[in-house]
Amino acid sequence: MSLQVPGLSATDLVSDEWWRGAVLYQVYPRSYLDTNGDGIGDLPGIIQRLDYIAGLGVDGIWLSPFYASPMADFGYDVSDFCAVDPIFGTMVDFDALVARAHALGLRVIIDQVYCHTSDQHAWFQESRADRCNPKADWYVWADCKPDGSPPSNWQSVFGGPAWTWDARRSQYYLHNFLAAQPALNVHNLEVQNALLATARFWLDRGVDGFRLDAINFLMHHPTLQDNPPVKNPTKMTRPFDFQHQLYNKSHPDIPKFLARIRALTKSYGDSRFTVAEVVGELAAEEMKLYTSGDQFLHSGYGFEFLYADQMSADLVRTTMEAWTGAPNEGWPSWTFSNHDAPRAISRWSPPDQRPAAASLYLFMLLCLRGNVFIYQGEELGLPHADLALEELRDPEAIANWPQTLGRDGARTPMPWRSDQVNGGFSRGQPWLPVPVEHLPLAVDRQEADPDSTLNLCRRLLLFRRRELALCLGAQTSVDVPSPLIGFERTLGDRVLLCIFNPSLAAITLTRLGWRVIEAVGGADIELLPPLSGLVAERRDFER
């Protein structure tokens, strides 16, 4: 019997708002499946696995960059926004990917990197030639101080000053990341128009939306004033961490450009989706600013869970209560793992508890209010890979080794077959090694195990899709014994009680009048074993 929710009409579920409450699966193309033996995943490999992705029960995919690039930052240093890098395939492959995804009912979201380009991009090559060429003001250039030092104290995310001297112009250029990633001057309307033309190119090819990378780095403050220092800094591994990032990013004109992006996507129909990646101290406030009303972006991609050292009731409560559903408020998106952070189960659980932790955290993620992003391998319960220094490829990981886990450990290739070389990822030498500990978690083994994390993920995704209160409902914290995490999801008369135990101790609970409708780890309404969770409905609710 279908679920009837009072107050929810058919128009609330039209395809134009397919993204609201959707689950998207992030594909990191370099590490998904290699079809030509060069050790690097490619678009044909993704096409081969689209049936697998659709079989999970997700609503769409987010593709990390596949554009032409020297790969200094593995695709986030773009040399041509409108070209597929040959290591990934061709534009014909991309068009085939979109067509096949759509045939399977999957939406396709792609990364757009508007804050910077590669230093090999034709725009930058022209801009750096001299101070009077047509693109001279397309990047952030500034004169040195009288003593020859950089224009400001701004630091790069990847370490060292955010300014590099260029002798051709006798000026410094800004780069918030690698020196090979010069910052675009998006205050310049010509630059904005060029970026919008890029977006139009991909919309014309049928993509369903964009994830906008590090969007609060889009505009600097032209005053170039110094960032203030952090008082009493702790756990600082990079010079970047010693400053409050007030002036190298987060300019108040950023929403004006976001409004132009929204207007462009809307011209292709209301079903195109935009989500902002927002990082830094002010990320929560900026997420809300960039998604407020209906003139900016649809959603913001939160980092509260992604960079958390541990999962706790306080973290869930404070993060989720910031999104109340007030008028003109945007819609949040959440993820526990991605290509830029250590995998969640390695951050939040000891090695011997990770299989149970993988199930618990997948369940919890799928019960949160907002959109959900699942990172490739998360459905398998992959832990963060432990790589030796000589195996690292990520410039940030190398620069900060061994103080941080680095990003490479989250980017190792997908293990498809436990009995094949390189886990079935490639017949050649993979760009990153396939960890031996990932092979027992390979797709082929989990397909054959009805109790595997993979099959649980499919079940939970189906459960979320069936329960509209999980997709669209409000979220309210409830009082439960510490360290349990508890909240209700409400839509119309439908109320679901969600309770999770992230600890290694069993915890008793008395919740009369509730019936468990989904659970992991053996959870029951009266007892939650370690690393377990449940969703319950009121006993008098009629389906």
Catalytic site positions: 213, 277
What is the C-alpha R_g of the chain? 23
Which strands make up the sheet holding 141-142, listed edge to edge? 141-142, 171-174, 163-166
Asked if residue 248 lies in contact with residue 224, where contact means CB atoms within 8 angstroms, the answer is no
CA angle 537, 542, 543 (to 5 degrees): 90
DSSP conformational letter for 184: B
The C-alpha atoms of residue 365 and residue 518 are separated, in whole angstroms, by 14
The C-alpha atoms of residue 539 and residue 181 are separated, in whole angstroms, by 57
Q: Is 170 left (phi over 0), alpha (psi -120 to 50) or beta?
A: left
The C-alpha atoms of residue 447 and residue 426 are separated, in whole angstroms, by 20
Cα distance from N-terminal residue to C-terminal residue, the chain: 7
Q: Which residue has the tokens 């995804």?
A: 101
Instruction: Look at residue 249 and give its three-state secondary structure.
Output: coil
Burial of 327 (0-12, 13-18, 19+ CB in 10 A): exposed
Instruction: Look at residue 485 and give its three-state secondary structure.
Output: strand
Closest CA to 4 of 12, 515, 536: 12
Cβ partners under 8 Å of residue 292, min gap 6: 328, 329, 330
Instruction: Look at residue 527 and give its three-state secondary structure.
Output: strand
Using a CB cutoff of 8 Å and minimum separation of 24, what contacts does 398-405 make? 399/158, 399/159, 399/238, 400/159, 400/237, 400/238, 403/237, 404/237, 405/342, 405/346
Instruction: Look at residue 33 and give its three-state secondary structure.
Output: coil
Instruction: Provide the token pair at 211.
Output: 């994830």
Percent helix, percent strand, percent coil in the chain, to nearest 5: 30, 20, 50
Cβ partners under 8 Å of residue 266, min gap 6: 272
At position 533, the amino acid (one-letter code) is: G
To which H or E segment does residue 286 belong? helix 283-290
